[in-house]
Amino acid sequence: MKKVLILITGILFLNNSFGQEIELKLSLLGYNFSQNGQRLNWKELATVTESHVEANMLIKKAKSHNTISSVLSLIGGGLIGIPIGQSITDQEPNWILAYIGGGVAVISVPFTFSAFNKVNKGIDKYNLSLRSTSKSVMKPEFSIIADRNGLGISINF
Judged against a pLDDT cut of 80, whether residue 71 lies above it is answered with yes
pTM of the model: 0.69
Which pLDDT value is given to residue 74? 96
pLDDT digits (tens, 9 = 90+) for 76-127: 999 999 999 999 998 999 999 999 999 999 999 999 999 999 999 999 999 8
Which pLDDT value is given to residue 15? 46
Contacts of 147 (CB under 8 A, 6+ apart): none
Question: With b meaning 16 or more CB within 10 Å and e meaning fewer, what string describes 136-146?
Answer: eeeeeeeeeee
Q: What is the mean pLDDT of residues 59-81?
A: 95
For residues 92 and 94, give the distance between their C-alpha atoms in angstroms, rounded to a whole number. Answer: 7
Domain segments of the chain as ranges:
18-137
For residues 23 and 155, give the distance between their C-alpha atoms in angstroms, rounded to a whole number. Answer: 29
| Residue 32: its H or E element | strand 30-35
Least confident of 52-56, 83-87, 131-135, 143-147: 131-135
**Phi, psi at 27, each rounded to 5°:** -130, 180
Which pLDDT value is given to residue 150? 78
